[in-house]
Amino acid sequence: MTLDTQKKFLPLPCCPCPFWDPTYAADLPFHPACELAWLRCRRSFQPFLTNKRTLTSRRGTQHMRNPPVKAQVTSLPASLVRCAGPLTLRRSFMQIGLTGMATLSLPGLLKLRAENAASPKSERKSIIMVWLPGGMSHVDTYDPKPNASSEYRGPFKTINTKVPGTIFTELLPMNAKIADKFTIVRSMNQTAGGHPAGTMQMFSGDPDTRDKPKPRFPDWMSVAHYLRSKEGGRVNPLPNYIGVPASSPEYSSAAYLGDAYAPFAVSDDPNRPNFQVPNIGLADEAETRRLSDRLALRRSLDTLERAFDREGELGALDEFEAQAATLLTNPNTRDAFDLSKEDPATRDRYGRNRWGQQLLLARRLVEAGVEIVTSNLNGPLCGRVRNWDDHAVNQHQFEALRFRMPTYDRCVSALIEDIYARGLDKKVLVVVTGEFGRTPKISFDRSTGPGDASGPTGTLQPGRDHWPRAFTSLWAGGGIQTGGVIGASDKRGEDVIEHPHNASDFLATIYHHLGIDYSKTTINDLNGRPVHIVSNGRAIPGLVT
């Protein structure tokens, strides 16, 4: 036997089944010589796998730290040999990635910006995240379990969708009609059971499961905002990160990036007839004229020598001042927020209510060149406690869903349809999720107060509690392949049994869409320590283009 053939048929001992090693990751390709060996031995390893690692875990959250390997097994062998490959790297990201340990000071940033300003930009992607604070009950919506017992199932019937084989509950008729325009991930899971920690995990990837008053890490929105502004070259005067309104502002922040990267928040109800955004456009003609006068006066008085400006500090300030002046006086920037410019039929399609007009505004903003938009679906439209936190003590789970889902179904389906209709589907990624799902097993408790979707105090009513072990997220646009279902939860919706994806994967997918190299990019915290924007996550394969 020549050496060459020897190499092709290496004996097994050098290359045992990779699943023996828990630290082994799925995309490490095979030793080329071992691929055949693997294919041969695959069958003999199968029993071992199913015995040693149960495909479905009942241990829940604890288990999720070491996700079950089932996904890896089922996706063999193609995905094993497949490699994500280098992502499109922008120069600035490369620099940060490669000199990860070096600090990037403000002057450094400005320098980097100035350098990058000259380089041509590839098409920039945008993202709209629709946030459901409190968490949507997955089993009552996108992941129905019609065969589960009545303690789990809930009262809603299932309906077929445009995609054969995919079913939703009857609460989502409009979503069902356009199920070919989005992909749902039924195997989302994370490890934090409280609203603060769960939200922080989803937003920033913080693995800490304890609830903290404030996030330790910046959320993905501010990270993206920060990286994008560092990249420079954006001429649009509109802020690049807008919250309509900001999503869970109490549990998310720009942390060590500083408030400069916090969202521009639109907190007013866009459905109000006299809806207004402060600081975007001035209310009346006289005010605008006065500001113009003031600006002119300042221009003539602001004569401070600029020769000392080596670090571009004054330059940066000038830039922001010009942007602020434009925002205040330029009618075009106001237009981006002016929903009266929309066709009334479109406004109706989204729903003439707060959520509908919020999402319409979000769409208008990405169209006007804003790159990061989040929208929080909360408030009275949710029911008594004004969010999705459907504990029995808060509100009647099923009444609450009946109460709010028509609004939800209408506005989310309208947004997705609209994104495709306007040809924004390659550029704009729409993500809908909350921090977790709701407990599949229904619990009963006494209402703590009456209100929309809640009985009088003391009424025994059903509810569902926090459930991070399995939940569903929705993805549309962004050029992804749609009409799919990724992953699965078990027959009761309690645990993920296929293709588990955690918060890091969620973040990685978002960053990937924005063209940010999540595996390498680090940002220094206040101690100068480089912190990875995603730790050990991987863009969800079915959502990557």
Site for another protein in 294-353 (CB under 8 A): 294, 297-298, 300-305, 307-308, 310-311, 313-314, 316-317, 320-321, 323-325, 327-328
Q: In angstroms, what is the minimal distance from the CB of 7 to another protein?
A: 5
Segment near another protein (CB under 8 A); pick from 16-24, 56-64, 440-448, 508-516: 16-24
- Can residue 210 be called a binding residue for another protein (CB under 8 A)? no
Q: In angstroms, what is the minimal distance from the CB of 443 to another protein?
A: 32
Amino acid letter at 38? W
Residues 394 to 453: which contact another protein by CB under 8 A?
Answer: none
Whole-angstrom Cα distance, residue 393 to residue 525? 40
- Can residue 9 be called a binding residue for another protein (CB under 8 A)? no
Residues 92 to 111: which contact another protein by CB under 8 A?
Answer: 97-103, 105-108, 111
- Can residue 114 be called a binding residue for another protein (CB under 8 A)? no
Based on CB atoms, which residue is closest to another protein, 36 or 98? 98
Given a contact cutoff of 8 angstroms between Cβ atoms, the answer to whether 155 and 170 are in contact is no
- Can residue 268 be called a binding residue for another protein (CB under 8 A)? no
Given a contact cutoff of 8 angstroms between Cβ atoms, the answer to whether 282 and 291 are in contact is yes
Which pairs count as long-range contacts for 149-154, CB under 8 Å and 24+ apart, including other chains?
151/441, 151/442, 152/440, 152/441, 152/442, 152/492, 152/493, 154/397, 154/398, 154/442
Q: In angstroms, what is the minimal distance from the CB of 312 to another protein?
A: 10
Segment near another protein (CB under 8 A); pick from 162-170, 194-202, 433-441, 518-526: 518-526
Q: In angstroms, what is the minimal distance from the CB of 171 to another protein?
A: 39
Residue 543 forms beta bridges with which residues?
none
Whole-angstrom Cα distance, residue 413 to residue 178? 7
Q: In angstroms, what is the minimal distance from the CB of 131 to another protein?
A: 22
Find the DSSP H helices in 371-502: 397-421
Whole-angstrom Cα distance, residue 228 to residue 121? 11
Whole-angstrom Cα distance, residue 12 to residue 31? 11
Q: In angstroms, what is the minimal distance from the CB of 127 to another protein?
A: 20
Looking at 246-357, which runs of residues are DSSP E strands?
264-265
- Can residue 116 be called a binding residue for another protein (CB under 8 A)? no
Residues 212 to 251: which contact another protein by CB under 8 A?
Answer: 213, 239
Segment near another protein (CB under 8 A); pick from 32-40, 151-159, 194-202, 447-455: 32-40
Output the CA–CA distances (angstroms, integers) from residue 52 to 25, 45, 56, 58, in the order listed: 17, 10, 12, 15
- Can residue 55 be called a binding residue for another protein (CB under 8 A)? no
One residue of 16, 155, 249, 479 binding another protein per CB under 8 A: 16
Spatial strand order of the sheet with 264-265 comes to 264-265, 241-243, 372-376, 126-131, 428-433, 471-477, 182-188, 485-486
How many residues touch another protein under the rule CB under 8 A: the total is 89
Based on CB atoms, which residue is closest to another protein, 130 or 277? 277
- Can residue 25 be called a binding residue for another protein (CB under 8 A)? yes
Residue 437 forms beta bridges with which residues?
467
Whole-angstrom Cα distance, residue 420 to residue 483? 13
Residues 138 to 167: which contact another protein by CB under 8 A?
Answer: none
Q: In angstroms, what is the minimal distance from the CB of 301 to another protein?
A: 6
Amino acid letter at 371? E
Based on CB atoms, which residue is closest to another protein, 513 or 520? 520
One residue of 37, 277, 282, 366 binding another protein per CB under 8 A: 282
Reading the block at residue 99, the tokens are 């000199």
- Can residue 264 be called a binding residue for another protein (CB under 8 A)? yes
Based on CB atoms, which residue is closest to another protein, 190 or 472? 190
What DSSP letter does each residue of 117-162 carry, written as one string? Answer: HHS--PPPPEEEEEE-TT---GGGTTS--TTS-HHHH-SPPEEE-S
What SS3 class is residue 182? strand
Output the CA–CA distances (angstroms, integers) from residue 544 to 80, 183, 193, 233, in the order listed: 16, 12, 28, 26
β pairing state of 241-243 and 264-265: parallel
Reading the block at residue 30, the tokens are 């095979």
Q: In angstroms, what is the minimal distance from the CB of 210 to another protein?
A: 14
β pairing state of 437-438 and 158-160: unpaired
- Can residue 520 be called a binding residue for another protein (CB under 8 A)? yes
- Can residue 84 be called a binding residue for another protein (CB under 8 A)? yes
- Closest by Cα among 417, 492, 540 to 152: 492
In a 13 Å sphere around the CA of 335, the CA atoms on its Cβ side amount to 9
Whole-angstrom Cα distance, residue 472 to residue 516? 24
Based on CB atoms, which residue is closest to another protein, 134 or 237? 237
Q: In angstroms, what is the minimal distance from the CB of 316 to another protein?
A: 5
- Can residue 532 be called a binding residue for another protein (CB under 8 A)? yes
- Can residue 27 be called a binding residue for another protein (CB under 8 A)? yes
Segment near another protein (CB under 8 A); pick from 46-54, 475-483, 486-494, 523-531: 523-531
Q: In angstroms, what is the minimal distance from the CB of 110 to another protein?
A: 9
- Can residue 74 be called a binding residue for another protein (CB under 8 A)? no
Based on CB atoms, which residue is closest to another protein, 317 or 421? 317
- Can residue 3 be called a binding residue for another protein (CB under 8 A)? yes
Based on CB atoms, which residue is closest to another protein, 150 or 274? 274
Segment near another protein (CB under 8 A); pick from 40-48, 84-92, 398-406, 432-440: 84-92
- Can residue 117 be called a binding residue for another protein (CB under 8 A)? no
Q: In angstroms, what is the minimal distance from the CB of 163 to another protein?
A: 32
Given a contact cutoff of 8 angstroms between Cβ atoms, the answer to whether 149 and 441 are in contact is no
Based on CB atoms, which residue is closest to another protein, 290 or 341? 290
